[in-house]
Chain A
Amino acid sequence: MIALWTLGSTGEASAMTALVDLIANLGPWSWVIAGLILMSLETLVPGVHFLWFGLSAVVVGIVAFLAAALGLDEAFSLPWQLVLFAVISVMTVFWVRGLSRTEQAETDEPALNVRGAQYIGRIVVVEDAISGGRGKVRVGDTLWPAQGSDTAKGALVKIIGTNGTVFVVEPAV
């Protein structure tokens, strides 16, 4: 891969070497800069692709600064930085998932896109008598299959659950 890089056109090769030199000159700052670039890309591009990489790049940059401060510059060489970057990216994913999980519980519409759940608790009229455990109820302007104890047509029943596309009903009193 390195050979590929060096065997590119002279323009490309010179650009690559210039970039590498730039990164080397910046030192640990390059990580933080890369992290910030990635995170700004993240906010601009729809979808979540760069969030973890951006965060972990910033973290690796901070660790590199600490290493430089503590004099562990040589030990914390590029490969280790890369390894750390990879590991922290993966860990960031789990951390962000953990964060979003707690927010998942609070939402304005918990039953959004779950059509059946939205009707639980409603009292509706039986349109086709429930016999043998199956019948139809009129909900709003449509007919839904219903499942429950035998009920005559015109009786009121309450929806207590769903079973796929079928409502589980019990007589409402």
Chain B
Amino acid sequence: MFGGFEVFGLLLIVLAVAALWSTVKIVPQGYNYTVENFGRYTRTLTPGLHILVPIIERIGHHVNVKEQVIDIPSQDVITLDNAMVRVDGVAFFQVLNAAKSAYEVENLEHATINLTMTNIRTVMGSMALDELLSNRDKINSQLLHVVDAATESWGVKVTRIEIKDIAPPRDLIDSMARQMKAEREKRAQILESEGLRQAAILKAEGAKAAVVLEAEGRREAAFKDAEARERAAEAGSHRHDAGVERHRQRQRAGHQLLRRQQLREGPRSPRQCSQFENHHDAARGVVGDRLARRLGPDHRRSLRQCAASGKAPARRQRPAGVGARLSRPSSGAA
């Protein structure tokens, strides 16, 4: 049964199997396979089914074209102000050109990590510790700038480089904590004393207001009291004045009665006549003849009666003295 032909047949199957196994390649999604033609790169296989030329072509590298993350290991970096910090990071990259990344650089990951580490030292060595801790963004973008430029020739795009952890030495952390605590305490004390000051001011203002109000109250009370007294006095004085007025009226009435009687009877004595004369002179002295005329018909009748009855005294010239000066209206300055 196993003659030459059968063996040939079997071996043909073996060859077919071997050939198919080595030439038919399934490239999974996310990978690119490089094809080498007797060791020389010819083409890149994208995901899918591919058949290679059997003996001549071989698969060279399996290149991962998905975005990858690599850890940048911790290292000690000395900052500009001589603080020693422990830094680690993470880098994201993606291979865009499979052939370049496979053949232009030996061990891509190793190269990228080392490149990033040296650049971290460079970037951080030129910044002070405070600046470092607050400007992570700036550090990240600076690192990206440099590392991306370097990996460009390897067909690799670095998309992000992030510093994960910046750990200053323990005692530095303690003193930073103390600084923060002191700052907070200072603020607390300021607020407390501010509060006390406000309280004292308000209290004093309250006291002042109280005293002022009290004084105002007393003033009002005094005003009211004075007013009350005034009213009372007025009311009393009104009665007094009324009485006085009545008295005067009666008196006048009595005088008028007496006067009429006198006029009817005529002047009784020369002294009365001289009085009439004096009155007349005085009146004339003050405002002149007009008033004399205004003295009234009664007075003029009395004068005529005096003159007629012969009881008028001799007209004597009064000296222009004080009396005349007083009788004259003060024209101008006195």
Q: Are A78 and B9 in contact (CB under 8 A)?
A: yes
Q: Is B326 an interface residue (CB 8 A)?
A: no
Partner of A82, one of B12, B26, B94: B12
Complex contacts, A145 vs chain B, CB 8 Å? 148-149, 152
Cα distance A85–B49 in the bound complex, in angstroms: 22
Cα distance A114–B152 in the bound complex, in angstroms: 16
Partner of B148, one of A2, A80, A143: A143
Q: Are A142 and B160 in contact (CB under 8 A)?
A: yes
Cα distance A78–B12 in the bound complex, in angstroms: 13
Closest to B19 in A: A90
Complex contacts, A141 vs chain B, CB 8 Å? 160
Size bin of chain B's contact surface:
35 or more
Contact with B along A112-132 (1 / 0, CB 8 A): 111110000000000000000
Q: Are B13 and A86 in contact (CB under 8 A)?
A: yes
Partner of A81, one of B3, B9, B24: B9
Q: Are B16 and A86 in contact (CB under 8 A)?
A: yes
Cα distance A161–B246 in the bound complex, in angstroms: 128
The number of residue pairs between A and B whose CB atoms lie closer than 8 Å in the complex comes to 103
Size bin of chain A's contact surface:
35 or more
Partner of A143, one of B7, B97, B145: B145
Cα distance A164–B95 in the bound complex, in angstroms: 10
- Nearest Cβ on chain B to A144's Cβ, whole angstroms: 7
Complex contacts, B65 vs chain A, CB 8 Å? 113-115
Closest to A162 in B: B96
Cα distance A82–B50 in the bound complex, in angstroms: 26
Cα distance A31–B152 in the bound complex, in angstroms: 55
Q: Are B26 and A47 in contact (CB under 8 A)?
A: yes
- Nearest Cβ on chain A to B256's Cβ, whole angstroms: 118
Cα distance A75–B148 in the bound complex, in angstroms: 69
Interface centre among A77, A85, A87, A164 (most CB of B within 10 A): A164
Q: Is A83 an interface residue (CB 8 A)?
A: yes
| Given known contacts A100-B49, A165-B96, A52 and B20 CB-to-CB distance under 8 angstroms | yes
Q: Is A59 an interface residue (CB 8 A)?
A: no
Contact with A along B11-30 (1 / 0, CB 8 A): 01101110111001010011
- Nearest Cβ on chain A to B108's Cβ, whole angstroms: 13
Complex contacts, A143 vs chain B, CB 8 Å? 141, 144-145, 148
Known: A53-B17, A78-B1, A100-B48. 14 other contacts (CB 8 A): A79-B3, A79-B9, A83-B8, A85-B13, A86-B15, A86-B16, A87-B16, A93-B51, A97-B50, A104-B48, A112-B29, A142-B160, A145-B149, A164-B152
14 contacts between A and B (CB under 8 A): A2-B7, A47-B26, A82-B9, A86-B9, A86-B15, A89-B17, A94-B51, A114-B96, A141-B160, A142-B144, A142-B159, A145-B149, A145-B152, A162-B96
